[in-house]
Chains A and B, each alone.
Chain A
Amino acid sequence: MTARDPDQQNDARLTGLDAGSQPAPRPNRTIGGGKDDGTLIEDPGKRAPLVLGDRSFGDVTDIVCGYAEAPMPKPWLAMFTITSTIAALGTGMILYLIITGVGVWGLNNQVDWAWDITNFVFWIGIGHAGTLISAILCLLKQNWRTAVNRSAEAMTIFAVVCAGIFPGVHVGRVWFAWMLFPIPNSNAIWPNFRSPLLWDVFAVSTYATVSLLFWYMGMIPDVATLRDRAQLRLNRGLSRPFAIPMPVGKDIVVPFLPRPDTLRALIYGFASLGWRFSSRHWHRYEKAYLMLAGISTPLVLSVHSIVSFDFATSILPGWHTTIFPPYFVAGAVFGGFAMVLLLLIPIRAILPNFSDLLTLRHLENMAKIILVTGTMVGFAYSMEFFIAWYGANQFEFEAFANNRVNPNVAPYWWAYWTMIICNVVFPQLFWMRAMRQNPVVIWIVALAVTIGMWFERFVIIVTSLHRAFIPGEWHMFFPTWVDILTFVGSCGIFATLFLLFLKFLPVFAIAEVKVVMPQSHTSDDH
């Protein structure tokens, strides 16, 4: 490498940034293929590199910030148009439900929880991977988490947003939803603190708040980096004028509006709270991060346990089991990691430089977690069934054998077997090294797991409810078009929020990635 004046180098880089440019991609990168990118070392004496391509600190900053600062790419705009339309459709369905009443859903006297609560548990379960990655893997000193924690935490928050919609609107008269909270009111009525449904209100709202604080705190230094870059470009006259993005053709430049960098310096500047990268600040920041990780670890385990209490504390066969809390937590981690992989593998292919920060090793590690938690979930399924038989409770045994498993008599046998195939059979592919090192295979398994986890909640909720103790209570559940479009709409809301995150915020934890690079060591002998 030729020695250059760092000033010149910096100027050149900033000039290149005008078009949202990136450092040159590595020539030998592997996208989509199953080939080794240099991180799949099996020698336990060697540590796989976490950042590839001989990247410097500056390169990492440029890679992550470059995408956030580039003009809106056309594929992003196209995707955003589609997902925001679906999100609007979902919002319309919610409005329709509020205006008309819960009768627009397929709920009936017997099956009074169906898609709404299925979707709620599905989304809240997906929301568990983010905090698991940032908290538990932080305590276990798993350095590879730095590449995925930011996007996983973002995904967590968006999933909790989607989850929050369903219990909010399924109460029927949503203008009474405030009664869920202990608010002094003129009727002198207080909520019942002995009800697991109220525990759920506290667990989910605490989880949403703590995840948001965790996410925001992690982002303060990285947002400060974006602020500084915007300010530098403004100082040097390198910033672009405001342009209205067009799906086709050239963007329309509007010279009299404030420049994007002016807005960035303001908004990112406000959000980063004047962070100065001071070591005295870093010291307290790291302490606060560690403590947040410490309290989030039991929190993440408690939230899905409490969600499972909604079911387990009832006397309904199929719900009334003690295995639910650990089984729900394992399932949540399982489904959450699947969603992380489902989102990150395409991003890695579309934005090539991200594959330097998010290596095949990262994907393999997550595939291993999918395998472990998938096997735990499979064990829980069989243990549930075993106890139904061994416990000698006729109703419980019937709920499993004749309401779920047996295709001849159980109406929802297809849901049960979809769940088993997707959640138990598919992850077993990861016993084979070639399978868990191939991003395409991982993506397909992740998709299967996501489908399977939705069916798991459907099986638990609907098949237990649709046949209770006496045949007079039996009733089938059929979703209406509003049910279906509300769920599709919630996926749209999730995808829209995630796309906004990809475009406007640092997708990787820049400062944390720099910590795990060899250049960050304080002694020369590395």
Chain B
Amino acid sequence: MSAMTNLISGIADYAPMLVRKPAPKFVSREGNRIYGIVAEFGETPAVYKAAQAVRDAGYRRWDVHSPFPVHGMEEAMGMKTTKLPLIAGGAAICGVLFAIFLQWITSGVLYPMVTQGKPYAAWEPFLPITFELGVLFTAFACLFGMLALNGLPRFHHPLFSHERFYRVSNDRFMIAIEAEDANFDPDKTRALLEQAGGDHITIIEEED
């Protein structure tokens, strides 16, 4: 699947009024687009091993859903480290520069005011606010950068149509492999998940 199709498909997830999704690879008997296949696991070690198996089978568009962040799952899934720290660092620099500019332009240029005979634009008294604004910008970047990279908020998702998925927030683990993955094959993928010990293996359809 090319990068362009991926992009169009991603835009269609959030703004279906703008673009149509590319033609699906698999459809159900009723003609619905197939989102993917999910398998449930009851224990942390089981889902951890299953994730390693799915990674080794060469899948790329898949995910593990767990009620809490499982330690070491990044490695078991073969995930790349997130770029979030770069975003946060950039925001920190912006915050610091903005604070310095704001204080310099107001105290030094726009409204110079004699205070205890000190220079108008001395840098020392600007330090506390420079620090605070740096922290403020970083904090916003952390939360909103995390949400943006995660593609949230997204209130509608094919997985929410699967009732058993709601138990992931309680005590179950779920592996979902998307139909858009190049390796996806309804029978082979199901066999892989069965072999990995998953139960309640279900095909998820998208309702258009």
Query: Hey, which bits of chain A sit against chain B, CB under 8 A?
Result: 6, 10, 56-58, 61, 182, 188-196, 198-199, 202-203, 206, 209-210, 213-214, 216-217, 221, 224-225, 227-229, 231-232, 235, 269-270, 273-288, 291-292, 295-296, 298-299, 302, 306, 309, 510-512, 514-515, 519-524
What are the interface flags for B83-103 relative to A under an 8 Å C-beta threshold, 1 for contact and 0 otherwise? 011001000100000000011
Interface residues of B in 146-163 (CB under 8 A from A): 146-147, 149-150, 152-157, 159-160, 163
Return the chain A residue nearest B103 by Cβ.
A193
Q: Say whether A295 contacts B135, CB under 8 Å.
A: yes
Q: Say whether B118 contacts A194, CB under 8 Å.
A: yes
Q: Say whether A279 contacts B170, CB under 8 Å.
A: no
Instruction: Tell me the complex Cα distance, A510–B68, Å.
Output: 8
Instruction: State which of B76, B135, B149, B159 has its C-beta within 8 Å of the C-beta of A284.
Output: B149
Assuming the contacts A193-B129, A199-B129, asked whether A210 and B170 have C-beta atoms less than 8 A apart, the reply is no
Instruction: Tell me the complex Cα distance, A511–B65, Å.
Output: 13
Kindly state whether residue B138 has any CB partner on chain A within 8 Å.
yes
Q: Say whether A277 contacts B45, CB under 8 Å.
A: no
Kindly state whether residue B72 has any CB partner on chain A within 8 Å.
yes
A/B interface sample: 22 pairs, CB < 8 A: A61-B67, A61-B169, A192-B115, A194-B122, A196-B128, A202-B128, A203-B128, A206-B135, A229-B169, A229-B170, A270-B155, A273-B153, A273-B155, A282-B66, A283-B73, A283-B74, A283-B82, A285-B146, A287-B82, A287-B85, A288-B143, A306-B132
Closest 10 CB pairs of A and B: A57-B171, A273-B153, A288-B146, A190-B106, A282-B69, A522-B48, A228-B166, A514-B68, A190-B111, A225-B169
Interface residues of B in 182-206 (CB under 8 A from A): none
Assuming the contacts A56-B171, A277-B169, A511-B67, asked whether A194 and B84 have C-beta atoms less than 8 A apart, the reply is no
Nearest Cβ on chain B to A329's Cβ, whole angstroms: 14
Q: Say whether B65 contacts A520, CB under 8 Å.
A: no
Q: Say whether A228 contacts B128, CB under 8 Å.
A: no
Return the chain A residue nearest B150 by Cβ.
A281
* Known contacts A61-B170, A206-B135, A520-B70; 16 further A-B pairs (Cβ under 8 A): A61-B171, A188-B110, A202-B129, A221-B68, A225-B67, A228-B170, A269-B155, A273-B153, A277-B67, A282-B70, A284-B146, A288-B146, A302-B128, A511-B69, A515-B69, A515-B71
The A contact surface, by secondary structure, is helix
Q: Which chain A positions have C-beta within 8 A of B142?
A: 213, 217, 288, 291-292, 295
Q: Which chain A positions have C-beta within 8 A of B156?
A: 274
Instruction: State which of A194, A210, A221, A269 has its C-beta within 8 Å of the C-beta of B107.
Output: A194
Instruction: Tell me the complex Cα distance, A484–B70, Å.
Output: 51
Kindly state whether residue B11 has any CB partner on chain A within 8 Å.
no
Kindly state whether residue B19 has any CB partner on chain A within 8 Å.
no
Assuming the contacts A286-B69, A514-B68, asked whether A274 and B44 have C-beta atoms less than 8 A apart, the reply is no
Greatest chain B CB density within 10 A among A286, A519, A522 is at A522
Instruction: Tell me the complex Cα distance, A225–B146, Å.
Output: 19
Q: Which chain A positions have C-beta within 8 A of B12?
A: none
Instruction: Tell me the complex Cα distance, A279–B76, Å.
Output: 11
Instruction: Tell me the complex Cα distance, A279–B67, Å.
Output: 9
Kindly state whether residue B77 has any CB partner on chain A within 8 Å.
yes
Return the chain B residue nearest A62 by Cβ.
B170
Q: Which chain B positions have C-beta within 8 A of A6?
A: 42, 172
Nearest Cβ on chain B to A442's Cβ, whole angstroms: 30
Q: Which chain A positions have C-beta within 8 A of B131?
A: 298, 302
Nearest Cβ on chain A to B151's Cβ, whole angstroms: 9
Return the chain B residue nearest A211 by Cβ.
B139
Q: Say whether B65 contacts A276, CB under 8 Å.
A: yes
Instruction: State which of A193, A227, A276, A522 has its C-beta within 8 Å of the C-beta of B71.
Output: A522
Q: Say whether B139 contacts A231, CB under 8 Å.
A: no
Nearest Cβ on chain A to B132's Cβ, whole angstroms: 4
Instruction: Tell me the complex Cα distance, A273–B148, Å.
Output: 11
Instruction: Tell me the complex Cα distance, A287–B149, Å.
Output: 12
What are the interface flags for B120-131 relative to A under an 8 Å C-beta threshold, 1 for contact and 0 otherwise? 001001101101
Q: Say whether B69 contacts A279, CB under 8 Å.
A: yes
Instruction: Tell me the complex Cα distance, A190–B133, Å.
Output: 18
Q: Say whether A274 contacts B143, CB under 8 Å.
A: no
Kindly state whether residue B27 has any CB partner on chain A within 8 Å.
no
Kindly state whether residue B63 has any CB partner on chain A within 8 Å.
yes
Kindly state whether residue B145 has any CB partner on chain A within 8 Å.
yes
Instruction: Tell me the complex Cα distance, A514–B155, Å.
Output: 25
Instruction: Tell me the complex Cα distance, A285–B145, Å.
Output: 10
Assuming the contacts A232-B163, A292-B139, A295-B139, asked whether A283 and B45 have C-beta atoms less than 8 A apart, the reply is no
Nearest Cβ on chain B to A40's Cβ, whole angstroms: 27
Q: Which chain B positions have C-beta within 8 A of A280?
A: 63, 77, 79, 150
Nearest Cβ on chain A to B50's Cβ, whole angstroms: 11
Q: Say whether A194 contacts B125, CB under 8 Å.
A: yes
Instruction: Tell me the complex Cα distance, A468–B170, Å.
Output: 62
Instruction: Tell me the complex Cα distance, A280–B177, Å.
Output: 13
Instruction: Tell me the complex Cα distance, A6–B42, Å.
Output: 9
Q: Say whether B74 contacts A213, CB under 8 Å.
A: no
Nearest Cβ on chain A to B190's Cβ, whole angstroms: 20
What are the interface flags for B33-61 relative to A under an 8 Å C-beta threshold, 1 for contact and 0 otherwise? 00000000011110010010000000000
Instruction: Tell me the complex Cα distance, A274–B152, Å.
Output: 7
Q: Which chain B positions have C-beta within 8 A of A284?
A: 82, 84, 146, 149-150
Nearest Cβ on chain B to A422's Cβ, whole angstroms: 31
Instruction: State which of B48, B163, B167, B169 has its C-beta within 8 Å of the C-beta of A224.
Output: B169
